[in-house]
Amino acid sequence: MEELARESICLLARSASHADPPRLGSFGAIFIMLKSALGAGLLNFPWAFQKAGGVNIAISVEMVSLVFLISGLVVLGYAASVSRKDSYQDVVREVCGAATGKLCEVCFCFNLFMISVAFLVVVQDQLEKLCVSLYGTVTGSSEALMPYHWYTDQRFALFIVCLLFILPLSIPKEIGIQKYTSVLGTLAATYLCVAVIIKYYLMENHTAELSPEHSQGVGSWGSMFSVVPTICFGFQCHVSSVPVFNSMSRKQMRPWGLVVTVGMIICLFVYTGTGVCGFLSFGSEVKQDVLMSYPSDDIAIAIARAFIVVCVVTSYPILHFCGRAVVEGLWLRCRGEQVELCVVRERRRRILQTVVWFSSTLALALFIPDIGKVISLIGGLAACFIFVFPGLCLIQAKLSESDDRSASWYVLVVYGVVMVTIGAFVFGLTTSNSVYQDIVS
């Protein structure tokens, strides 16, 4: 059961089974990294650019963050080669100790839980616009105001979609649909990016261009750091990086460094293009979910909304599957039960865990007003996976090398300390600011 829990985290590396040698080339590794990074975070980037104070500031923060994003992925590859473990949590546990590994598992499970909530908030937003678009098509009027009834409320629509599709897909012991739907996230993100850019160039009037400060950007330190949670949430593919590294045919630092550098640069262009064009299209009026800024009768955007809904509906069970596996592993280690007894009670625990996870995420999504509040919290937690845990792994790995303590050894240890410090600062700042904003609201 513990082996099952570990393998469940490594969905992306299942092609590299115990009997088969790893055969993933650099191109395939880049594609999987893109699938892991590109997703619903695109929706929040235009609003983050506006919140940061303008294009220049936001891009500057992105470029600085990119250095730490790439170095964190390289460090995780190095830690995976040293520890010879197959998942992010196992690498942290092997390199940093059991206590840090357990903390990593708890953070990982909570992170998946909050991402599940964010996904349901996205579905709720898109269902609202899709229902209005469908009603306008039926009545023959653009931007028609749909009469309010309890069955036309987007929260009711979200409940029906979750009950009919998401819950049945989440209960099974295995998620076989993953092999058919894993590419949907990349397709949805690519289509969304292209649609936002094209819509910007087709617009006659650009709101942000009327105000020079929007494009130049003058903001405080707090405004500048407000874009960091969105960057961490959008670029966060570090958890899946360990199984990707272990599935490569050449598990060496040079090809791995090339993979993560190319992958992150492609993500940078996609996220920056969406953020800049979405922000310049609406200026200070841009919504926290950029698709909510477009009219309901826009066919191209309606297709993007449908893409996002399908992607989220098929991705939610995978997130829950990974979270359930972590909970199962923690439960088995804490309880110390016999394997035979665990197998007998597995079905009961699985159904109970699924119902509790599903009900909790749905309840939160129904009452959270916008995706920005969720991303601000998730982004702070993602900083732990991007900065803190890789930094700790780097420090512990170098401290275990008592033989050679050259100048490069001290540089790497100091860099690990810097990563941990930055990660702790970002986590504390964004989380406290998110809680404060919720209390004020």
Show the 3-state SS of the chain.
Answer: CHHHHHHHHCHHHCCCCCCCCCCECHHHHHHHHHHHHCCHHHHHHHHHHHHHCCHHHHHHHHHHHHHHHHHHHHHHHHHHHHHCCCCHHHHHHHHHCHHHHHHHHHHHHHHHHHHHHHHHHHHHHHHHHHHHHHHHHHHCCCCCCCCCCHHHCHHHHHHHHHHHHHHHHHCCCCCCCHHHHCCHHHHHHHHHHHHHHHHHHHCCCCHHHHCHHHHHCCCCHHHHHCCHHHHHHHHCCHHHHHHHHHCECCCCHHHHHHHHHHHHHHHHHHHHHHHHHHHHHHHHHCCCCHHHHCCCCCHHHHHHHHHHHHHHHHHHHHHHHHHHHHHHHHHHHHHCCCHHHHHHCHHHHHHHHHHHHHHHHHHHHHHCCCHHHHHHHHHHHHHHHHHHHHHHHHHHHHHCCCCCCCHHHHHHHHHHHHHHHHHHHHHHHHHHHHHHHHHHC
Q: Give CA torsion, residues 420, 374, 186, 174, to 10 deg.
A: 90
Q: Which of 288, 310, 285, 290 is nearest to 301 (CA)?
A: 290
Considering the entire predicted model, what is its pTM? 0.81
Beta bridge partners of 248: 24
* Stretch 123-128: mean pLDDT: 85
User: In the predicted model, is pLDDT for residue 388 greater than 90?
Assistant: yes
Domain range list for the chain? 2-370
pLDDT category at 75 given cuts 50, 70, 90 is very high
**Which candidate, 271, 209, 208, 261, places its Cα nearest to that of 235?**
271
Could you tell me the two tokens for 388?
Answer: 């803190």
Rounded Cα–Cα distance for residues 58 and 25 (Å): 33
In this prediction, what percent of the chain has a pLDDT beyond 90?
Answer: 18
- Distance between CA 246 and CA 143 in Å, rounded? 51
24 forms beta bridges with 248
pLDDT (tens digit, 9 = 90+) per residue, 230-266?
A: 888 888 888 888 888 888 888 888 899 999 999 999 9
Its CATH architecture, for the domain 2-370, is Orthogonal Bundle (1.10)
Question: Number of C-alpha atoms within 13 angstroms, CB side, residue 49?
Answer: 33
pLDDT tens digits for range 405-416: 788 888 999 999
Tokens representing residue 56 in the block: 């220049």
Which of 141-145, 210-214, 369-373 has the weakest average pLDDT?
A: 210-214
Q: Cβ distance 286 to 278 under 8 Å? A: yes
- Write the pLDDT tens digit of every residue in 298-348: 888 888 888 888 878 878 887 888 888 888 877 777 776 655 555 667 778
Residue 181: what pLDDT?
A: 61
Q: Which of the residue ranges 20-24, 167-171, 250-254 would you say has the lowest mean pLDDT?
A: 20-24
Alpha-carbon span 238 to 236, nearest angstrom:
6
pLDDT of residue 273: 92
